[in-house]
Amino acid sequence: MIHLASQSPRRRELLALLGVEFGLLDVEVPEQRAPGEPPEDYVSRVAREKAGAGLLKVVGAPGALVLGADTEVVLDDEVFGKPADADDAARMLRRLAGRTHRVISAVWLLSAGCEGHAVNVSEVRFAELGEDEIAAYVASGECFGKAGAYAIQGRAGGFVAHLSGSYSGVMGLPLYETRVLLRRFGVAV
């Protein structure tokens, strides 16, 4: 049985697209970057910790596989997590406007005796954004709970001038990498 160690509705939707049945595990993992930790390492570590915390919840379940994932927006080595409030969201969007940033998505799959992972890095270029556009987007509420204060699958898709990489990875679960991992573990996808 596959378990998704996430309460993200986007990850649930994306994993369901692969046609696998899965259960949900609610895990609490601190998302704090260590001083000097490279962004890719940070994202991968958090995804691994989520999968590990999930595996502890299903110890003893024969054949249990736990999938953990994390996605972060990175600009100039600064990791943009979820905004703390409206001002923080507006600050992030101002920084991203007119620039290219990276979106790093890591996926870990763990079982009692095996583990595997993959990392996807996409580049996203935002259009220039005016203060009125930023204010309207923040007021919509869509920015909250999203890395970098935006959801590419929502209204912010209109901000994206160019995407090089994985659309599903920017959403929160790179489907190609996830499919490859699941198949490596013998899951029919």
> Rounded to 10 degrees, what is the CA torsion of 48, 51, 54, 58?
-120
41, 70, 76, 132: the catalytic one is: 70
> Is 70 noted as a catalytic residue in this protein?
yes
In 58-105, which residue ranges form alpha helices assigned H by DSSP? 86-96
Burial class of residue 132 (count of CB atoms within 10 Å of its CB; 0-12, 13-18, 19+): exposed
Sign of the torsion angle spanned by Cα atoms 22, 24, 25, 28: positive
Q: Judge contact between 22 and 2, C-beta under 8 A.
A: yes
Tokens of 44: 């991968």
* Phi, psi (deg, nearest 5) at residue 167: -60, -45
Q: Judge contact between 70 and 31, C-beta under 8 A.
A: yes
Q: Judge contact between 156 and 142, C-beta under 8 A.
A: yes
Q: Judge contact between 105 and 119, C-beta under 8 A.
A: yes
Task: Return the active site residues.
Answer: 70
